[in-house]
Structure 1
Amino acid sequence: MNETVHSRRRSTRAAPVEKAVSRTNDPERTMANIMEVAMAEFAEKGLAGARIDEIAAATRTSKRMIYYYFGSKEGLYLAVLEESYRRMREIEGQQHLQDLEPEAALRRLVEFTYDHHHSHENYIRLVMSENMNRGQFLEQSKSIQQLNVPAISSIRQLYDRGVAAGVFRPGLDPIDIHASISALSFFNVSNRHTFGLIFKRDMTSPKALAERRATVTEMIVRFVRA
């Protein structure tokens, strides 16, 4: 009987320890969870309005744990910015533009950028927030420059192919092409509420989105075309 009692006592003590170990031994999962919640928090409220207490509560962690992984609220914010850009560039790199003819590749790039921005409003809001901060936190990043090198390299390669084939006019700057694609795609998310209200147009309807997507793509292609 005593052995049974001792066995039960041992089993009741073991359960909480096992739960704690499983949680603390998976730092990557914990950090990923914090990042996902923090992205939404910073996108919705900006750096100033976001609260670490709310991020901790939503992720069932603690402020101490968040600071352990990211150093500070600003450190978490910068990590979120870097991850947002990293995801964008990772998906962009999967478009296989080198497998397409230059104009088809350019069209795919514009359409991808437009679609990505439309379906990732948090990315747009984070970029807007950091521009409100005049880029002071992104300036501290040790990886942001390298993260964006492939984007310009990809445009430069497809543009050079197009010039060599005689379908693109020479003398254009790949960074300027990138800026034009970004600007036209970004506006449709960042300004859709004010633009729609002012001009009484539903900017989110499938018809409006498809028409604007086609317009933006055609504008870029005609700008680059020889």
Structure 2
Amino acid sequence: MQKKLSAKVVSRSRKNDPDATKENILRIASEEFVASGFAGARVDEIAERTKTSKRMIYYYFGGKEGLYLAVLERAYTKIRSLEGALDLQNMPPAQAMRRLIESTFDHDDQNPDFVRLVSVENIHRAEHMKRSSVLSQMNIVVIDIISDILRRGYEDGSFEREIDPIDLHMMISAQCFFRVSNRHTFGAIFDRDLSAPDIKQRHRTMICDAIIAYLKTPATAG
């Protein structure tokens, strides 16, 4: 009797927990936007899968675009939170940069839906992201992290290549993002499974080595 009562209490508390309800909506909405894109995703389908109402989704998020932006913000919050928890400021510069690259690689590899979601927004030329002040402020953090690692690396001689932090962020993202976003087409063309553990580890090391070597090599004149 006690177990049944406890189960009912837990069930009721979940139903009355707005944060849990919103998180569930965002999780399902993310799957729908990844599968169908912004235009193809239907709020009715999201409401049905989350066992909520379309009215409740509109109450929390204001509409389909608001929900989509919340999904994007949730996705970027995850990777920025991971970066912030790496304690990079207490590592030597080269080690800190390698750890940051490894973290980006692992995140993209383990979160293909994030890569697909970003690809969907690229199709829309980032028109939704441009309306989000949260995203623009949030993503400055990783540039500050990279800037600090570079500054320390120049000061102690670890790095010699002068590079714009945003350019370096793009270089890291491009290497890690491509192998997930193009995994199937690249695999079909070259008959290579990019998700195979040995290939994944080789690419992880290769990307880190290439970027660190670039930073340690002074730019050539001309």
TM-score of the two chains, using structure 2 as the length reference: 0.90
1:37 partner amino acid: I
Q: Does 1:191 align with 2:217?
A: no
1:170-210 alpha-carbon deviations (Å, 9 max, x no partner) = 42111111110000000010001000110111111101101
Displacement of 1:24 in angstroms is: 5.8
2:85 partner amino acid: Q
Task: Name the counterpart of 2:113.
Answer: 122
Displacement of 1:125 in angstroms is: 0.6
Displacement of 1:25 in angstroms is: 3.3
- The whole-number CA distance in structure 1 between the counterparts of 2:11 and 2:84 is 39
Matches within 5 A, 1:193-212: 193-212=184-203
2:50 partner amino acid: T
Aligned residues between the structures = 209
Matches within 5 A, 1:138-177: 138-177=129-168
- The whole-number CA distance in structure 1 between the counterparts of 2:116 and 2:135 is 18
- The whole-number CA distance in structure 1 between the counterparts of 2:78 and 2:201 is 24
- The whole-number CA distance in structure 1 between the counterparts of 2:113 and 2:210 is 26
- The whole-number CA distance in structure 1 between the counterparts of 2:20 and 2:202 is 40
- The whole-number CA distance in structure 1 between the counterparts of 2:69 and 2:76 is 11
Task: Name the counterpart of 2:51.
Answer: 60
Q: Does 1:35 align with 2:35?
A: no
1:48-95 alpha-carbon deviations (Å, 9 max, x no partner) = 111111111111001111011111111100110111111110111111
Aligned with 1:179 (options 136, 161, 170) = 170
Larger radius of gyration: 1
Aligned sequence identity (%): 46
- RMSD (CA atoms): 1.6
Structure 1 residues 165 and 71: alpha-carbon distance in aligned structure 2, compared to 1, 3 A threshold: same
- The whole-number CA distance in structure 2 between the counterparts of 1:129 and 1:61 is 25
- The whole-number CA distance in structure 1 between the counterparts of 2:161 and 2:189 is 39
- SS of 1:203's equivalent in the other structure is coil
1:27 partner amino acid: P
Instruction: List structure 1 runs of 4+ shifted beyond 3 angstroms.
Output: 18-25
- The whole-number CA distance in structure 2 between the counterparts of 1:207 and 1:125 is 24
Q: Does 1:222 align with 2:191?
A: no
Displacement of 1:120 in angstroms is: 0.6
Displacement of 1:22 in angstroms is: 4.5
TM-score of the two chains, using structure 1 as the length reference: 0.88
Question: Which runs of no fewer than 5 residues in structure 2 stay unpaired?
Answer: 1-8, 218-222
CA contact (8 A) 2:116 2:181 kept: yes
CA contact (8 A) 2:161 2:216 kept: no
2:137 partner amino acid: Q
2:185 partner amino acid: T
1:150 partner amino acid: V
